[in-house]
Each structure stands twice: as C-alpha cells, then as structure tokens.
Amino acid sequence: MSRLHVVSGKGGTGKTTVAAALALALATEGRRTLLVEVEGRQGIAQLFETEALPYEERKIAVGPASEGAAPWGASGGDPARGGGGRRAGGEVHALAIDAERALLDYLQMFYKLGSAGRALKKLGAIDFATTIAPGLRDVLLTGKACEAVRRKDKNGRFVYDAVVMDAPPTGRITRFLNVNDEVAGLAKIGPIHNQAQAVMRVLKSPETAVHLVTLLEEMPVQETADGVEELRAAGIPVGGIVINMTRPALLDNGDLDIAARDARGGVAKALSQAGLGGARRGGLAERLIDPLLEQAREHAERVELERAEHAELTALGLPTYELELLPEGVDLAGLYHLARDLRKQGPI
C-alpha cells in the first residue's frame, strides 16, 4: 500500500479539499496521518477552521471513527478500539512547508551552518538561491515530505502511517515531482545531488501514489488525461482519479429521453394531473411548460456531457472515486462527510 499520497488537480477542482478529506479518511483505527501543504496558500488551515499553519508538524484533527471497516492505506500502527465495535479515529497532523525554512534545515543538516545560515536568510541569499534555481525549491519541498514518509521512532516504527501532500496543479505536477531532472544541471555530485536521488527513490517507488482530482467537464478531464500520460512517462506511480463535485441525475433515462424530444403534450398532461389545470392559452400550465422544458433540456444535455467525460476517465484504466457536490459548501462537518464517502469506496 502507498504511504505517500500526492494530490493534484486543475485549479478549481477542489484538490485541497480532497487532500484534506483523504488525510481524514486515512486517519482511522489509531493511525497517524500527516497532511502537507507546499504552495503557501494556507488552504488546509481554512478548511480545518484553525489558525495559520507554522513550519512545524501540528495536530489539527481526529479522524472519523469506523465501524470495523477494513483499514485503508499503509499498514502499521496499533488500532485504538472504542466500545461497541467502533474503532476510534486516528490523528491528522499538518505542516506548511516553507522553502526558505527547509533550506535552513538543509544547510544545518549538511553544513552545520547554524547562525551563519540565519544570517544568509537575513541577507536574502536563501530567497535568491531558490529563485535562480527553482529546481532546488522543489527538491526542498518534496524532500521534506519524503523525510516524513521515511521517519521512524526509537522503536523502529514509522512515525506517520501515511503522508498526504496537497501538491501543485496538474499542469506542473510532473515537473514538480521529477526533481532529479530538475537539479541535474545544478549538481552532478554532492549533498544536493544525493538529496535529489533520495527523494526520487521514494517518489518512484510503490510507497507513492499520485491522485488526480477532476470535475466532469472537458478541460479538467483533458488536463487529467494529459497529467496521467506525463506521470507515466516519467515513471512516477499514478494512484486514482477523484471525480469531485458530482451532481445526481434528477431524471431517469426515460425522462431524459422525453426532455430531449421536447414532449410538450406529456408535460401538459403531467401538469394537469398535478392539479395545475390544462394547457389552455394563457393558463398557468401553459406558462410553466416552456421553462420546465428548458430546464429539462439543459439537465439532459449536462448529463449526456458528464457521461461522455466519465467514459474518457474510465478509459484511462485507473481506479475512480466520486465525491458529491455539497450545496452549502465545504465546512468542517462537510470535510468529515467527504472522508467517510472516500472510505466507503475502498482503498485509495
């Protein structure tokens, strides 16, 4: 099972929400999950209704209790069982990775710079370094997440059973993760080269799965298909596709056919049976027919398009998961609702 879950998606598809829901879903039966943010937007803090995340790992939530469901994600960790057959949720920790702070950690780890490293930050040298060498920034960001994946406690057990990364959008996810190529021109040998190699060993291993979030719309679906192709070409494992914000079909297939045929007579009869009078000229039923038919046609067209986009995603040959649109938006309760929906659909 994967231990590093990288969540990407076209802007506007809700990838941060899905990453947060996935972290909650994985934090079951006493398991510990780390939710990592790398874009500096503090979207995770907003979703969990907490203060801005510092550059340190902090507990922000407890996963939902399960009714004896099969464990998700990585193995390891001792189940915390509650009474009545319910299994208590685990812990969700979060971290907002800052490239400058990560570079200071890196300089201290390899060069023991200490206060000299802090002086470099004050002088702006660190920001300058990560600006002229953007590949280095990606090494630092992904490296911090990969370190959390590999970290063990004094008993030799993994500190986190799963790490979930809210990653950059699909359009640049392959370049972001393929850090070895990015730093090839910076360092052929030495600590930076070795760090990139260590990161790629994790990112290209079965420990990692990149999940792509999409909507049933043409542009997000096409970007998802392109992203899958690029990730596969780079040798980075692709996990599943999460279809977000799905809406129920309000009409069955028969009613959709009626709507497509513009069946005024059938609608007039139905309105009459509902006690709204016949379709006499100027009557209430007549005034309702055209608006109702227009809405029905629009709904039928949307369903047809969504089915076609769904077929495109299915053709990619990856597991798919669906999360419904929450009409009131995603608050903390909604986040737990989405986490339970993910769990019901099986391992991701």
Taking only the tens place, the pLDDT of each residue in 155-168 is 999 999 999 999 99
User: What is the C-alpha separation between 166 and 39, in angstroms, rounded?
Assistant: 8
If pLDDT is split at 50, 70 and 90, which confidence band does 308 have? very high
Tell me: pLDDT of 214 over 80.
yes
> Bigger pLDDT: 81 or 13?
13
CB atoms within 10 A of CB 43: 18
Tell me: pLDDT of 324 over 50.
yes
Domain 4-247+325-344 CATH class label: alpha beta
Do 231 and 7 touch, CB atoms closer than 8 A? Answer: no
Tell me: pLDDT of 6 over 80.
yes
Tell me: pLDDT of 275 over 70.
no
Do 129 and 192 touch, CB atoms closer than 8 A? Answer: no
SS3 category, 246: strand
Residues 6+ apart with CB under 8 A from 182: 134, 135, 138, 139, 175, 196
Taking only the tens place, the pLDDT of each residue in 24-63 is 999 988 899 999 999 988 999 999 999 999 889 999 999 9
Do 211 and 348 touch, CB atoms closer than 8 A? Answer: yes
Q: Which two tokens stand for residue 302?
A: 């949307």
Give residue for tokens 């300058």. Answer: 128
Phi, psi (degrees; rounded to nearest 5) at 246 = -75, 150
- Residue 172: the pLDDT is 93
- Residue 79: the pLDDT is 35
- Residue 78: the pLDDT is 39
